[in-house]
């Protein structure tokens, strides 16, 4: 089994923490995490893929062990996050790679694809949405903030940053909650409790409206470039509905779509199945 190295890189002045495993000359695979997590969510997946692939999983700016720049000097938008991750891939020599996108990793990764389609060898979307029909009613409080970014609507979103909500994100839709390790949500809680982290996350909730505005551009990329795509989806996700996975076939007819009887953080319960699906898909 390949060992995992824990490294840092400088990307546009932001220190980016990342996990790396596999041979440097193997096919490249970039793993992009979501809210409120970090590359820690890939702790079990990386060893299952590292024999065949050169795997790299960074922490996004403001998350995990990566820098959380001051909001006065760094605007927390998905455009800026993508700028940092784009530079990060260049710094580590990822000139052409497949990418696994989950939750916030999707708008980050899809921006990279829009900017440099020639760099994207394939896409694995695990509950990484690009279609309006994939958004559940769970987005309604955030939509209210998009429509009226008042202090009251911003304050209401703090409920999504509590311990109880984080645990719920990990366990909702899971058949056996005893199968979900507390390590993931406990670490997420630690990162969310850092001074200023709440405001960073509220900024990103507000900016997510610009991801929805980019959905047509993402879809045009899918139609124009037809990247090999595997959608492997926790079908009980309270935020991203199965319709969002099915919709990829509208623009990429050969897309593979698989559903798992679990929730948002599908790796917590179905990591082995997802690893097997990724390996088979990328080998094909």
Kindly report the CATH number assigned to the domain that includes residue 17: 3.40.50.1820
Structural domain includes residue 161: no
Structural domain includes residue 226: yes
Per-residue pLDDT of the chain (284 residues), as tens digits, is 569 999 999 999 999 999 999 999 999 999 999 999 999 999 999 999 999 999 999 999 999 999 999 999 999 999 999 999 999 999 999 999 999 999 999 999 999 999 999 999 999 999 999 999 999 999 999 999 999 999 999 999 999 999 999 999 999 999 999 999 999 999 999 999 999 999 999 999 999 999 999 999 999 999 999 999 999 999 999 999 999 999 999 999 999 999 999 999 999 999 999 999 999 999 98
Structural domain includes residue 185: no
d(CA 56, CA 45): 11
pLDDT at 190: 97
d(CA 254, CA 264): 24
Q: Are 191 and 38 in contact (CB under 8 A)?
A: yes
> How many domains does the chain divide into?
1
Active-site choice (33, 54, 172, 264): 264
Structural domain includes residue 153: no
DSSP-derived letter for residue 9 is E
pLDDT at 85: 98
Structural domain includes residue 225: yes
The strand pairing partners of 92, in sequence order, are none
Domain range enclosing 74: 5-137+210-283
Which residues 6+ apart lie within 8 Å of 212 measured at CB?
Answer: 132, 135
Structural domain includes residue 96: yes
d(CA 75, CA 200): 9
Please state at what angle helix 197-225 crosses helix 182-192, rounded to 10 degrees: 120
Structural domain includes residue 151: no
pLDDT at 242: 98
Q: Are 62 and 1 in contact (CB under 8 A)?
A: no
DSSP class per residue in 238-277: SSB-HHHHHTHHHH-TT-EEEEESS-S-THHHHHHHHHHH
Q: Are 36 and 161 in contact (CB under 8 A)?
A: yes
Active site residue 264: yes
């Amino acid at each position: 089994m390949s060992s995992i190295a824990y490294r840092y890189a400088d990307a546009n002045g932001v220190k980016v923490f990342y996990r790396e495993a596999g041979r440097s000359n193997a096919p490249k695979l970039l793993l992009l995490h979501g809210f409120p997590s970090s590359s820690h969510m890939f702790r079990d997946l990386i060893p299952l893929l590292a024999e065949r692939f050169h795997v790299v999983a960074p922490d996004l700016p403001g998350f995990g062990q990566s820098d959380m720049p001051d909001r006065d000097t760094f605007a927390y938008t998905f455009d800026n996050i993508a700028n940092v991750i784009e530079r990060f891939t260049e710094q580590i020599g990822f000139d052409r790679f497949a990418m696994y996108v989950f939750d916030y990793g999707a708008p980050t990764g899809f921006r990279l694809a829009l900017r440099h389609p020639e760099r994207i060898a394939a896409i694995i979307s695990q509950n990484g949405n690009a279609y309006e029909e994939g958004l559940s009613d769970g987005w309604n409080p955030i939509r209210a903030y998009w429509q009226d970014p008042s202090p009251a609507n911003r304050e209401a979103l703090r409920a999504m940053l509590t311990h109880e909500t984080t645990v719920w994100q990990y366990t909702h839709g899971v058949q056996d909650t005893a199968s979900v390790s507390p390590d993931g949500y406990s670490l997420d809680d630690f990162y969310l409790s850092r001074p200023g982290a709440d405001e960073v996350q509220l900024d990103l909730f507000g900016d997510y409206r610009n991801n929805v505005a980019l959905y047509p551009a993402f879809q045009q990329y899918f139609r124009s470039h037809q990247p090999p795509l595997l959608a492997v989806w926790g079908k009980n996700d309270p935020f991203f509905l199965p319709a969002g996975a099915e919709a990829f076939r509208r623009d990429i007819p050969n897309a593979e779509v698989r559903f798992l009887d679990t929730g948002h953080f599908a790796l917590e319960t179905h990591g082995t199945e997802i690893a097997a699906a990724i390996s088979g898909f990328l080998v094909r």
